[in-house]
Amino acid sequence: MLDEAAVLQRLRKLVPRSAFEIDYVARQVFKLINPRGHGANSARFSNETLGWFRKTYPEDVYLTAGLSLLLCAAKWWTSEQGQRSIQPRVNPLTTSDLDMKLKSFGFLSGEREALCRLLRAHPPR
């Protein structure tokens, strides 16, 4: 069983001055990595993207559905940013775009808020 306090302490040590310093962000991330936690493997995450991830990365079968879809969202975000950077007159991605992608994957409002905060490149205040 994962110890929430130990995991959060480790995250904060590994990535100092990050969004993990923000309590609600760290707790949402812990929720998504804890396979025995509430909601990390919820049926709301059962979708085509999760199926693709499981098929493409079978070695990562131990990851929770929520964490797997977070990785998919981060991969989409990075790829889309790169595509938009080389296309003329295309608006850059916004946090709203990321929020919509996370919502389409089944993430709840509080989870999306925390994950958008985590994936933005701004240190906490």
- Domain definitions of the chain by residue range: 4-119
Between CA 118 and CA 95 the distance in angstroms is: 11
Beta carbons of 37 and 31 less than 8 angstroms apart: yes
Provide the phi-psi class of 45: left if phi over 0, else alpha when psi is between -120 and 50, else beta.
alpha
pTM of the model: 0.83
pLDDT tens for 45-60 read 999 999 999 999 999 9
Between CA 83 and CA 51 the distance in angstroms is: 24
What pLDDT is stored for residue 89 in this prediction? 82
Instruction: Give me 9's structure tokens.
Output: 């302490």
Residue 90 backbone dihedrals phi, psi, to 5 degrees? -110, 130
